[in-house]
Amino acid sequence: MGHCVRRLGIVACLILPGRVGAQLPPVGVPGGTVRLELDGGLETFDRRFLDGEREGFAADLSSPTLGSDRIPALADAETRIGRIIANPGYRLNLGGLTTDAQGEIGTGVLGLSLGLTNHITIFGRIPLVRTRVQTSMQLEPGTADAGLNPGTDDQLPFITQLDASLATLSAKLAAGDYDANPSQKALAQATLADATTLRGDLFGLLADPGSASSVLPTTASAAGTALDSRIAALQTTLSSDLGVTGFTLAPALPPVALTEPELTQLLTSPAGPVAARLTQAPVTFRGDAEIGASLTLIDQWDRGAHRGGFRAAMSGLVRLPTGRRDQSDRPLDIGTGESQADIQVDLVTDLGAGPLGARLNGTYVRQLPSNILTRVASPSQPFVGPDRLATVRRDPGDIVAVGVHPFYRLARTFALTAGLDHWSRGTDQVVYADPASALPGVDASVLAENSKANATVLSVGITYANPGGLRPGGTGLPVDASWSYERVLRAGGGRVPDSHAIRARFRVYFNVW
């Protein structure tokens, strides 16, 4: 649903709060110590939230009456047919399209932190991301009234006859053949004007290389019957009332409604109106790398024999656009990055007494603007063609996240954890990168539709943290590890995957000076 922006960065937003999740180990690293970090996660979803309501992840691809609601390129054909049959509200119906999809994001992160002092740490992380979307589409003919256009070669004989008849009628008027009968002359003039307009719509609909529709009403459909009746009435007027013969052909309309293989052909043909890629093999690529620093403000945690205490740290990082953005010609594609830099600030506080405690965290992410090349359309219209490809400047909405993560320590180094995180994302701002990139009649801001969103995420897990030799009198290898399960409880605003996620972290410390 695809698209992409159609993914709108929401998947990345969901991951952010987990990065400062309920971990008992300190945010920073003691001076002269290196921390090697290995993180991993797997997130899956086959449903999503939109305006707070759960629906299928592929809801944007589904339609009870597939037409220009999902394939904007059909709008011109619908307008022309509506004029021809005198029904301005006409819409092509290719049948009911039902689509199911499941998304999967696997992430592995390699990180390295260096304690410059006991209070200042610098760090860097590089993720490797694997994304996959499995999609199943089923077309039900139902009330479908359209099929594939037989092609220009089948339409040209009809257009040629129509052109010849109009040329003959025009020549008769110029020669004064109807001057003796004013009413007949008025009919000839009105017929020529009406038929010329009709010819423009028919050629544009049937055979014009620049605008011919890939689908047409079937012969037995109400629209097909009305179209043929309009042509037959013109032929009768020409031959019976105006003496113009030889116009006997009708447009070549499809005999049957579109089939599922033909729909796939329509959507995927490089020469078609959509030129989409529906098959989506797994994508493995680097994600958006991070570099930053943390400052331990206070550390009065687990002093001596006392458990708990108070600890606070803040960190700042820059997220670099090293990943791969979702591809706009692949509906529902999930990228490995967002193609723009972020500046993120986190504040983490631990409070505890005895075995009980909690970690409180807050995050602010300033998502910086960037230029992207994409197909410009509303997220609810996933099947747009390469004619909508343009460079836009996108300024993603900023993210604010807060969380509380209580824990219960079964032992000094081992704890059960839970957590509740809430994040919100502002509205994107999208404009064309420059006047030359602008598409006539298409506002770039449609890419920002439903971009404002929020969600609440529940997590449960376990954590192990042994400071070992990092504490006075301590022994053993300093190490910490954690495992957690996360679930989106609710979401509001735009499209948010209704995801399940499992995350794991392993970190080991080494003294270097």
Residue 19 has pLDDT above 50, yes or no: no
- Of 66, 258, 46, 3, the C-alpha closest to 135 is 46
Residue 13 has pLDDT above 70, yes or no: no
- CB count within 10 Å of CB 353 equals 11
One domain for residues 451 and 490: yes
CATH of the domain at 408: 2.40.160.40
pLDDT digits (tens, 9 = 90+) for 380-421: 999 999 999 999 999 999 999 999 999 998 988 889 999 999
Q: 265 in a domain, yes or no?
A: no
One domain for residues 310 and 447: yes
One domain for residues 122 and 206: no
d(CA 210, CA 454): 43
Instruction: Identify the domain boundary among 208, 223, 257.
Output: 257
Residue 8 has pLDDT above 60, yes or no: no
- pLDDT at position 10 is 38
One domain for residues 118 and 203: no
In degrees and rounded to multiples of 5, residue 372 shows phi and psi of -135, 150
Domain range holding 182? 146-257
One domain for residues 222 and 128: no
pLDDT digits (tens, 9 = 90+) for 418-477: 999 999 999 999 999 999 999 999 999 999 999 999 999 999 999 998 877 666 555 567
- pLDDT at position 9 is 41
Q: Are 37 and 110 in contact (CB under 8 A)?
A: yes
One domain for residues 197 and 304: no
pLDDT digits (tens, 9 = 90+) for 175-216: 999 999 999 999 999 999 999 999 999 999 999 999 999 999
Q: 84 in a domain, yes or no?
A: no
Instruction: Identify the domain boundary among 202, 226, 257.
Output: 257
Q: 391 in a domain, yes or no?
A: yes
- pLDDT at position 485 is 98
pLDDT digits (tens, 9 = 90+) for 75-110: 999 999 999 999 999 999 999 999 999 999 999 999
**Mean pLDDT, residues 41-59 taken together:** 96
Residue located via tokens 């791969």:
324
- pLDDT at position 142 is 84
One domain for residues 479 and 380: yes
One domain for residues 227 and 292: no
pLDDT digits (tens, 9 = 90+) for 215-248: 999 999 999 999 999 999 999 999 999 999 999 9
Instruction: State the total domains in the chain.
Output: 2
One domain for residues 334 and 471: yes
One domain for residues 302 and 209: no
Looking at 21-30, 263-272, 362-371, which range is the least confident one?
21-30
- CB count within 10 Å of CB 232 equals 12
Q: 224 in a domain, yes or no?
A: yes
Q: 269 in a domain, yes or no?
A: no
Phi-psi region of 13 (alpha: psi -120 to 50; beta: other; left: phi over 0): alpha
Q: 341 in a domain, yes or no?
A: yes
- Of 45, 16, 11, the C-alpha closest to 500 is 45
Q: 228 in a domain, yes or no?
A: yes
What mean pLDDT value characterizes the chain?
A: 91
Q: 80 in a domain, yes or no?
A: no
- pLDDT at position 24 is 55
One domain for residues 179 and 123: no
One domain for residues 318 and 404: yes
d(CA 29, CA 21): 17
Torsion of CA 165, 169, 175, 178, to 10 degrees: 140
